[in-house]
A and B are shown apart, each in its own frame.
Chain A
């Protein structure tokens, strides 16, 4: 098994003091930003992207990103538990029971089961990633342009159809994203598309600009429109018992199975092109509720309801990395930001990445293990500090976010026009939030759209314009039929109800929490 040889060399890189420092900085920064209410991992990475511009060391940068991501996720669970404001839909399930535990004076146990569960799930799922990455990459070499087209289409449509409550609104969001992705010079012919005669639009609209606009500017404007209705109350931590007193014996025995089950759900769902962590966290929550011996406790702070979803959330991230690293296909908003980060360093994730820059890939994977350990070691003892961060007054917090968002776009482009574009997208984002349009499809559309178009046209060039290649190649045909399935599945409960002669009205469309 040379996987372990590769991994060992990855560890060799990561454990150098300078990289260890990067990992520590990443975890701390990520937790700090992730704890801020309303900021999920995707925005955290997007806001911190400019910090990495001056590092000309991709390995260090990605080690930092891994730390930032884990930190942001951990910080998000803290916010969900203590303030009941999940920063992204993947922590919605955690907030349900976690907040109730905190209100009943069990905040420490909730935070501890979230942190330790994240650690367990992160470690196991990273191990799975280690084992699966190379075989999947080897498989991916067989993928042709037509398959990539179908896969990108599947990732986009699945997220839009399965996540969120309205298919029309989801698809409209997707169209906006696809449109934003089209702006600029066409890569194959050099023709300007939708640039409206301006030079600034010829280069296209950067994904970072879109993300900062939608998440930071749009979100802040949205918050501003309903300021009076925000919770300010941070549930206090009960007095500490110190040491290992965070979880009692019965907490441990009630937590470990949900951790493992959450991991088992999270990793495969993360790896599928179905929107990352949203679906597995809700599945895990439902499963724990269904299985639990303490069913009555659910809704009043059952520890299983925190342990399972948090583990699923973390495991899904390693799962998302499988298609991202081996195929270059992002399946969640966060993965799309990671892809943007790769592209800044002119790295194209995909099967070749494992041959071209193995040291980067394995250092990244090794840094996931290290980030996990650091997180547990740094953050649980520092919890009081993070609670302080939660208490930053809202006006100051959001003013700061606006400054950072402006700074991020400006530092990345050195161009006022880009900042104005980000603001414009922010205004669109505000109206999208106001009218309940999902955000994730915009980002996936903007990043997957150009990829999809390129592969589509490449396929047609190879097949001399013969469209039947999309149906005759088995893999492509299977993937395309999955696209159809993804659109139909959410309506299945209603269709079945109608077949059984019941009123379809009482059965709603199957949907999952929306990604942010």
Chain B
């Protein structure tokens, strides 16, 4: 169980440690628990009484039962200690001197293109330089720390999901080249691009290159669709 990594030493910008609406993790825990119960029941039902250790149903039962126990634990912990700032996202823990704490500095938990919370970033002046051109809500904070404070945009990933769904469903009937080019431009738009012409100029050669490379050089067939390629 993670302790609140930030507030113990009070080293962190208080805004980061603000309790966020605790309902997200609770709902997640409940969903996990329900899914776990369903899967566990599925395994129990399919096993039809065959619980032998070398049979095919021991592993599913163990895994799903473990899932149920863990999700219950997670759910309960969200109610017992709801405002866990580490749940929010990257919290900035400054590595202290000495061995162990620095190992944990851990900063970026995050393969993401979100700036690492490197300790030295906290240095004055780094923020504005980093935030370069990004219109942060409060305009002042370091880029990496806003991850916890900035609003999460739910609309963008949702739109992107819809676009992906449309893309894959159009792939066969319309063909790889057309579907991909349209999707590329749409996805770039959803992700905040304002240069549609540039996106088209990137998309068309890229997609054509992939198509010709795959079908001719690598001899992997892709749906050709409506275009006479």
Q: Which residues of A contact B (CB under 8 A)?
A: 37-38, 40, 50-51, 53-54, 80, 83-89, 92, 95-97, 99-100, 103, 164-169, 171-172, 175-176, 178-179, 182, 186, 188-189, 191, 193-194, 196, 215, 217, 219-233, 282-283, 285-286, 289-290, 299-301, 393-396, 398-400, 402-403, 406-407, 410-411, 414, 416, 419-420, 423, 427, 430-431, 433-436, 438-439, 449, 453, 456-457, 460-461, 465, 467, 493, 505-506, 508-514, 516
User: In the complex the two chains form, is B113's CB within 8 Å of A37's CB?
Assistant: yes
Report B-chain residues with C-beta under 8 Å of the C-beta of A37: 113
Contact of B193 among A178, A283, A396, A457 (CB under 8 A): A396
The reply to whether B39 and A194 form a contact with Cβ atoms under 8 Å apart is: yes
Residues on the B chain within 8 Å of A186, using CB: 56
Are the C-beta atoms of A514 and B5 separated by less than 8 Å?
no
Q: Is the CB of A416 within 8 A of B157?
A: no
Query: How many B residues touch A, CB cutoff 8 Å?
Result: 114
21 contacts between A and B (CB under 8 A): A54-B218, A83-B113, A103-B129, A165-B106, A167-B1, A168-B70, A171-B66, A179-B39, A222-B112, A228-B150, A230-B114, A396-B202, A403-B206, A406-B168, A407-B176, A407-B222, A410-B171, A423-B164, A449-B63, A505-B3, A516-B110
Given A89-B111, A420-B168, decide whether A232 and B191 contact each other with a Cβ distance below 8 A: no
Across the interface, name the chain A residue whose C-beta is closest to B89: A436
A-contacting residues, B87-129, CB 8 Å: 87-89, 98-116, 118-121, 123, 126, 129
When the two chains form their complex, are residues A403 and B183 in contact, meaning their CB atoms are under 8 A apart?
Answer: yes
B204 is an interface residue with CB less than 8 A from chain A: no
Q: In terms of DSSP, what is the predominant structure of the interface of chain B?
A: helix
List B contacts of A508 (CB < 8 A): 2-3, 5, 8, 101, 104
In the complex, what residue of chain B is closest to A220 when comparing beta carbons? B160
Min C-beta distance of A3 to chain B, whole Å: 36
Q: Is B207 part of the binding interface, using a Cβ–Cβ cutoff of 8 Å?
A: yes
Q: How far is the CA of A393 from the CA of B55 in the complex (A)?
A: 53
- Please give me the 4 A-B residue pairs with the lowest Cβ-Cβ distance, nearest first: A516-B111, A395-B193, A38-B113, A395-B191
Q: How far is the CB of B229 from chain A (nearest CB, A)?
A: 16
Interface of A is mostly: helix
Closest to A283 in B: B103
> Within 8 Å of chain A (Cβ to Cβ): is B143?
yes
**Complex partner residue of A410 from B74, B108, B161, B222, CB under 8 angstroms:** B222
Query: Quick one: which of B3, B135, B161, B192 contacts A394, CB cutoff 8 A?
Result: B192
A225 touches B157 (CB 8 A): yes
